[in-house]
Structure formats: structure tokens, C-alpha cells
Amino acid sequence: MDGRPLGIGHGSTAISRLNKGLDRALYSTLNGSLMSAISSACKSLDVIRLEGTQEQLGEAYRATRGEESQPATDKQKSYLRELILLNAEDDTDRQERINALSELTKEEASAQIRMLAGAR
């Protein structure tokens, strides 16, 4: 693009029974590096094409209002409290986790439940 390469490729080959000849090994390496360069160039073109639309793409993936960070439900908190009591290693760790329950979001509580339920 504008006299600059978009992709650089790397290729390698091993000489074996199937790939005995030097010419065949070199062509195999050349083809591999060409395919690698084409792959790099395609990725570069995607980046260039999307440069102007970054703000639009970012907006599409944002959560709508009210969905951003909802607090954990009482049901999640009580189940998580039970799991902590069963799985916590010592009393200080157990107490710290239980004290932090009031500040958890739904997503964080779900992640901790998955982690602790899997430890059982």
C-alpha cells in the first residue's frame, strides 16, 4: 500500500522422504511464506478498513443503561455464602469473602459461584 508491504510471510520446510529434492523443498518454503504473507496482509487490510468505524463498533458492544452492573441477587449471595463456608481455607479468608458479598455484581457473583461449585 503506497509502496509499502502489507504483510511479511515466513515459511519453512523439512527435508524428508517425501520432500527429497532441493527444488521441491525450496518451492514448499516459498509457498508457505507466500500464504503467511497473504494472511498478514488480509489482517492489515481489516485494520485499515475498520479505522474510521471504531467509535461505531464500540457503541454497538456497550451495555444499555440498567444492564451495566446490577448488584448480586439475594439468592446468589445466600448460595455464595454457603459455598464460602464449605470451601474457604481459613477463618480470615472466609470472613473477608463474606464481607465482600454486599459489593458484588451479578456477573462477579456468578463467576465466584462457578469457581467455588467446581471446587467441591
Provide the domain limits for residue 106: 74-119
The per-residue pLDDT for 65 is 52
Which of 55-64 are b and which e, b meaning 16 or more Cβ less than 10 Å from the residue's Cβ? eeeeeeeeee
Amino acid 75: pLDDT: 92
Q: Are residues 6 and 56 in the same domain?
A: yes
Q: Indicate whether 85 and 107 sit together in one domain.
A: yes
67 domain residue, yes or no? no
* pTM for the model: 0.43
Q: Specify whether 14 is located in the same domain as 40.
A: yes
Q: What is the mean pLDDT of residues 65-76?
A: 76
Is residue 69 assigned to a domain?
A: no
Q: What is the pLDDT of residues 28-58, one digit of tens each?
A: 888 888 888 888 888 777 777 776 655 555 5
Looking at the fold, whether 55 and 2 belong to one and the same domain comes out as yes
pLDDT tens for residues 14-27?
777 766 777 777 88
Asked if pLDDT for residue 78 goes beyond 70, the answer is: yes
Question: Strand, coil or helix: what is 69?
Answer: coil
Do 49 and 81 fall into the same domain? no
Phi/psi at 71 (nearest 5 deg)?
-65, 155
Percent of the chain with pLDDT over 70: 80
The reply to whether 32 and 1 lie within a common domain is yes
Among residues 4, 103, 95, the alpha carbon closest in space to that of 45 is found at 4
Q: Of the residues 14, 34, 62, which one is the last residue of a structural domain?
A: 62
